[in-house]
Amino acid sequence: MDVEFYRSFAQQARDLADKADPFTRKRLLVLAEKYDAKLGKPSPASRNLQRMLPLPRTVPAVSSISDAGEA
């Protein structure tokens, strides 16, 4: 298919999404992202998706003394 074809369909989906209800808007924007993917463009959602990984938790060293009250 032609690059201009996908580009125009993606733009049409975005234009319709501006006037649509929230449910339809979401689906039209997903459709526009699919057309963008066919063009080789990264989607705005994937560009903004940067997950911060938690820092590794440090585990205290196991002591050789299990309880201070034992002899």
* Residue 28 covered by a domain: yes
Q: How many domains would you assign to the chain?
A: 1
In terms of pLDDT, which residue wins out, 11 or 45? Answer: 11
* Residue 64 covered by a domain: no
This model's pTM is above 0.85: no
Selection from 8, 30, 7, 35 nearest residue 20 by Cα: 30
* Residue 30 covered by a domain: yes
In terms of pLDDT, which residue wins out, 49 or 29? Answer: 29
In terms of pLDDT, which residue wins out, 67 or 34? Answer: 34
- The arithmetic mean of pLDDT across residues 17-27, rounded, is 94
Q: Which residue segment(s) compose the domain that 19 sits in?
A: 3-40
What is the token pair recorded at 65? 């003394």
User: What is the structure's pLDDT at 3?
Assistant: 86
Using CA atoms, how far apart are residues 8 and 18, in angstroms rounded to an integer?
15
Report the mean per-residue pLDDT for the chain.
Answer: 77
* Residue 58 covered by a domain: no
- The arithmetic mean of pLDDT across residues 48-62, rounded, is 62
* Residue 54 covered by a domain: no
